[in-house]
């Protein structure tokens, strides 16, 4: 197979670096892409589960804009809902009826939800959730999972990060994932000052294998938090609607007090949501949180259309099934070349690593070779499935993976022959 070149992408990055810190910042930054020469940085257009870069190269996209794309780029149902609302009113000096409709739909859709609140980013609603927990309890401490990510706010970063002060994280207690005893100890040690516990439905850090909850873990956690009057917060920003339409907690069988949603909520349009139980509605009403664009109606219309369409087609089941099909085929191909993939997390949002590859160099090279042939994989982050990924896309992915393995094998053999010579 021919491999892609990225001259226009690299030229744009050179221009960007002169006027934008880091050129491309945050989670879209080129820094984690290794080898960096295997990846483009700028997209020109999208359709379905395909993306074209500024050099005209086409990719099957398994990053889905890092999660927001859930039912296909340019989905006509969602796009028309957005445009129809934008034609009549979007940002205005009053709230939109669409906000009421969307809140009512979420309350009907999500079993634990008695109310809904809307913002723009995942961090907006994880911050709001922790503020509600403190307002409701009058306490300060938030217990979180080591390696867990809940947005770029200072309280969620480490004190060694530039711009973060020791006092920013002074009231955040970190414990290991799946360690119920550690949670008990933290609660006992700070029993009179723990406001909330925040975690993702399963552990999905970057660069390391993801981990599902141990049998009975969430049920024990829920019971402990209820006994102690600690607010139970689930960050469903990344996993939301990829496991269950009622929230990922329904997939695992437990009931939190607050759930934060964002990425897949509106198929890429900017909106996030926090839903919660009636017991916390009064506290939520007292906490002041707002933003210049949080009342924009068109993204709310897009979210409503996206949720309705996902429910209609049973999107979580489709993504889980297509993810399993993809991964089963990839596993068989890898085995044919003498390699084993470690596949962790949900099949709708999997994380892959290569067994025995402690340095990550082989897996990085494999993902890079796949990307240079038209399948956008990253080696450090979980991937995302969408309902737009077809059997034809999966077959093409398998063909490209096979060719990437062949290229790496050929390169290894060439290097070995040169060393012997």
Q: Phi first, then psi: give them for residue 277, nearest 5 degrees.
A: -80, 160
What structural domains does the chain harbor?
Answer: 7-61+315-420 (3.90.1150.10), 76-313 (3.40.640.10)
Is residue 414 very low, low, confident or very high in pLDDT (cuts 50, 70, 90)? low
H helices of 63-170, where? 76-88, 97-109, 122-137
Q: Does the pLDDT at position 207 exceed 70?
A: yes
Is residue 416 predicted with pLDDT exceeding 70?
no
Got the DSSP string for 61-91? ESSGGGTT-SS-BT-HHHHHHHHHHHHH-SS
Structure token digits, residue 114: 């008695």
Q: Looking at residue 156, what is its pLDDT?
A: 86
**Any residues with CB less than 8 A from the CB of 5 and at least 6 apart, and which?**
55
241 Ramachandran zone, left/alpha/beta (phi>0; psi -120 to 50): left
Question: Which one has a higher pLDDT value, 165 or 96?
Answer: 96
Average pLDDT over residues 389-412: 95
- Give the pLDDT band (50/70/90) at residue 413: low
6-43 residue pLDDT tens: 999 999 999 999 999 999 999 999 888 889 999 999 99
**For residue 332, pLDDT beyond 60:** yes
The Cα 344–Cα 302 span in angstroms is 31
Segment 140-149, tens digit of pLDDT: 999 999 999 9
pLDDT value, residue 412: 66
C-alpha 63/C-alpha 384 separation (Å) is: 5
Phi then psi dihedrals of residue 236, to 5 deg = -100, 25
pTM score, two decimals? 0.96
pLDDT of 31: 82
State the Cα angle at 9 between 8 and 12, rounded to 5°: 85
Residues 83 and 90: their CA atoms lie apart, in Å, by 10
At 158, the pLDDT band (50, 70, 90 cuts) reads: confident
Which of 7-11, 56-60, 260-264, 410-414 has the lowest average pLDDT?
Answer: 410-414
Token pair for residue 12?
């744009």
Eight-class DSSP state of 211? B
The count of C-alpha atoms lying within 13 angstroms of the C-alpha of 353, restricted to the half-sphere facing its C-beta, is: 18
Q: For residue range 77-134, what is the model confidence (pLDDT) as tens digits?
A: 999 999 999 999 999 999 999 999 999 999 999 999 999 999 999 999 999 999 999 9
């Amino acid at each position: 197979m021919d491999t892609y070149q990225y001259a226009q992408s690299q030229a744009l990055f050179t221009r960007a670096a002169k006027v934008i810190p880091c050129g491309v910042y945050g989670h879209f930054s080129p820094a984690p892409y290794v080898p960096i020469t295997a990846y483009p940085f700028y997209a020109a257009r999208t359709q379905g589960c395909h993306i074209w870069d500024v050099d005209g190269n086409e990719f099957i996209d398994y990053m889905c804009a890092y999660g927001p794309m859930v039912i296909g780029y340019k989905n006509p149902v969602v796009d028309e809902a957005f445009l129809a609302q934008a034609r009549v009113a979007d940002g205005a000096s009053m709230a939109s009826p669409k906000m009421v409709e969307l809140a009512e739909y979420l309350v009907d859709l999500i079993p634990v939800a008695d109310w809904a609140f809307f913002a723009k980013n995942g961090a907006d609603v994880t911050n709001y959730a922790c503020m509600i927990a403190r307002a409701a309890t009058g306490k300060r401490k938030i217990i979180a999972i080591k390696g867990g990510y809940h947005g770029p706010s200072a309280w969620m970063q480490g004190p060694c990060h530039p711009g973060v002060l020791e006092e920013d994280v002074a009231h955040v207690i970190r414990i290991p994932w799946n360690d119920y005893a550690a949670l008990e100890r933290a609660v006992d040690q700070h029993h009179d000052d723990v406001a909330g516990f925040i975690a993702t439905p399963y552990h999905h850090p970057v660069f390391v294998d993801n981990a599902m909850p141990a049998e009975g873990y969430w049920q024990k956690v829920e019971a402990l938090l209820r006994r102690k009057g600690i607010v139970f917060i689930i960050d469903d920003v990344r996993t939301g609607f990829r496991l269950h339409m009622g929230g990922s907690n329904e997939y695992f069988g437990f009931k939190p007090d607050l759930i934060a949603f964002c990425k897949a909520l509106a198929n890429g349009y900017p909106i996030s949501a926090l839903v919660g139980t009636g017991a916390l509605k009064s506290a939520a009403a007292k906490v002041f949180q707002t933003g210049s664009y949080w009342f924009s109606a068109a993204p709310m219309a897009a979210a409503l259309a996206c949720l309705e369409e996902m429910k209609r087609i049973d999107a979580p089941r489709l993504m889980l099934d297509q993810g399993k099909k993809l991964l089963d085929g990839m596993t068989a191909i890898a085995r044919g070349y003498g390699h084993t993939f470690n596949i962790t997390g949900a099949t709708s949002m999997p994380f892959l690593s290569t067994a025995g590859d402690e340095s990550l160099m082989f897996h990085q090279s494999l993902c890079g070779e796949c990307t240079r042939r038209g399948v956008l994989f990253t080696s450090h982050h979980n991937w995302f499935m969408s309902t737009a990924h077809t059997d034809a896309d999966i077959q093409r992915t398998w063909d490209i993976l096979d060719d990437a393995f062949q290229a790496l094998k050929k390169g290894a053999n060439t290097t070995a022959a040169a060393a012997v010579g």
